[in-house]
Amino acid sequence: QQKYRRSKTEDIIQKTYDHEVMISESCLELTKKALEMNDFMLFSLGQEYNKIQVKEMEEVTTLTDIMKTFGTDKHTLLLFDSHINEYI
C-alpha cells in the first residue's frame, strides 16, 4: 500500500505541475496576442492572469521541492498531508 500511495502522491504533484505550465503558456500566449492586436484591455487582463500564474507556479514548485527533498516514505507523506496548507 505504501508504494501505491507514494506513486499516487508524486503523480498528482507532477500532473499539477504540468497543468500549471500549460496554463502559464496559455496566459502568455493570450497576452502576446492581445499586444499584437493592440487590444490593451485584453492585454491588461492577460497580465493579471500571468501574475496569478506566477503564484501558482511558485506553490507547485514548492510542493515538488518538498517531495524531492524529504522523500516519500509514509511518515513524510503523513506530515506533508497534515501541513500542506503551510507550504502553499
**Cell match 518538498: residue?**
66
Q: Which residue has the higher pLDDT, 66 or 7?
A: 66
Q: pLDDT tens digit string along 41-82?
A: 999 999 999 999 999 999 999 888 888 888 878 788 777 777
Taking CB atoms within 8 Å and a gap of at least 24, the contacts of 31-38 are none
- pTM reported for the whole predicted model: 0.78
CA distances from 38 to 19, 33, 47 (A): 29, 9, 14
